[in-house]
A = this chain, B = another copy of it.
């Protein structure tokens, strides 16, 4: 086990390196943090920390930089979450409160997160599978054309066009609309398939084709694959990544474009509480030199989606975690109100 002082040395290394972006040496350390010991002692501690794999030297005769393992220890044991200040909290709230619809909420959240953390922000739209149905609407747009509009309790709206196999009268449509709503309004999405199973039985033979088409479209809309949307922002912050630019930034931009990758990334994160994935802990290779801080958010106690930021492993973890947590909290509130 590492002694208390060695942990302090590690903490100091992480803090300095995050601040200066340069390998930190023993002398500089003793000057900037009063550890009460001489550089020589610190050197011994550093050698020990290096043996354990918490820090590394880019090359001989350079200072040390934390390894992923070092950051991990720092996050887990040595640093807390830095709470937002009161003015910051007020600013967050103000900024989010102006939103007019769900798109706007998400867009504002992304902006806010990117600005607060000076990193790339990722916000997932409230998931459908964890939501409940607020309303289903069927609109006849042409004799054999119906539009399905699905509204969730989180304010999300999905629409689909349906080509009917046979003309479908207004009365049949109203009938179907009413039956659908009475069955699934207020119910969870996951329950919907079961609830509409036998719905077609109530209809005339000639209408059943259309009813089936509507139902299958409805079920399709609920399928996980179609529903996971997200928004990203703050990519300009990538330019602050490091000197060895193009090599680092390229795969990150690619990852950000691949929504699938990002969704997986957020999905893998623990369901409750904040998750920090550091460097190689990220399964996706392109993100091996980045850290991802994510957390679930939701209107009630339950998380309906996740949000987070992607930044260099060399990031201000306490501050980032504080911002992410605070934003998630306020977004949850906003959603609950709407």
Chain B residues with Cβ below 8 Å from A249 are: 239
Choose one: B101, B134, B226, B234; the contact of A257 (CB below 8 Å): B234
Choose one: B100, B151, B235; the contact of A235 (CB below 8 Å): B235
A238 interface residue (CB < 8 Å to B): yes
A233 interface residue (CB < 8 Å to B): yes
Q: Which chain A residues in 288-319 approach chain B with CB under 8 Å?
A: none
Measured CB to CB, the nearest residue on chain B to A135 is B139
**How many Å from the CB of A251 to the closest CB on chain B?**
8
The A interface is mostly helix, strand or loop, or mixed, namely: mixed
Instruction: State the interface size on chain A (CB cutoff 8 A).
Output: 34
- A257 lies within 8 A of B245 (CB): no
A261 interface residue (CB < 8 Å to B): no
- B226 lies within 8 A of A253 (CB): no
Measured CB to CB, the nearest residue on chain B to A246 is B239
Stretch at the interface among A56-64, A83-91, A153-161: A153-161
Choose one: B137, B147, B245; the contact of A246 (CB below 8 Å): B245
Measured CB to CB, the nearest residue on chain B to A161 is B338
The quantity of this chain's copies bound in the complex is 2
- B101 lies within 8 A of A159 (CB): yes
Choose one: B100, B149, B226; the contact of A160 (CB below 8 Å): B100
Chain B residues with Cβ below 8 Å from A157 are: 149, 157, 159
- A238 lies within 8 A of B257 (CB): no
A-B contact pairs, 26 of them (CB 8 A): A101-B158, A101-B159, A101-B160, A103-B229, A135-B139, A135-B147, A139-B151, A141-B151, A147-B151, A149-B149, A149-B157, A151-B159, A155-B161, A157-B157, A157-B159, A233-B257, A234-B257, A235-B235, A235-B257, A236-B250, A236-B253, A236-B254, A238-B253, A239-B253, A245-B245, A245-B246
Supply 7 further A-B pairs (C-beta < 8 A) apart from A137-B139, A233-B257, A236-B254.
Answer: A100-B160, A101-B159, A161-B338, A236-B250, A236-B256, A239-B250, A239-B253
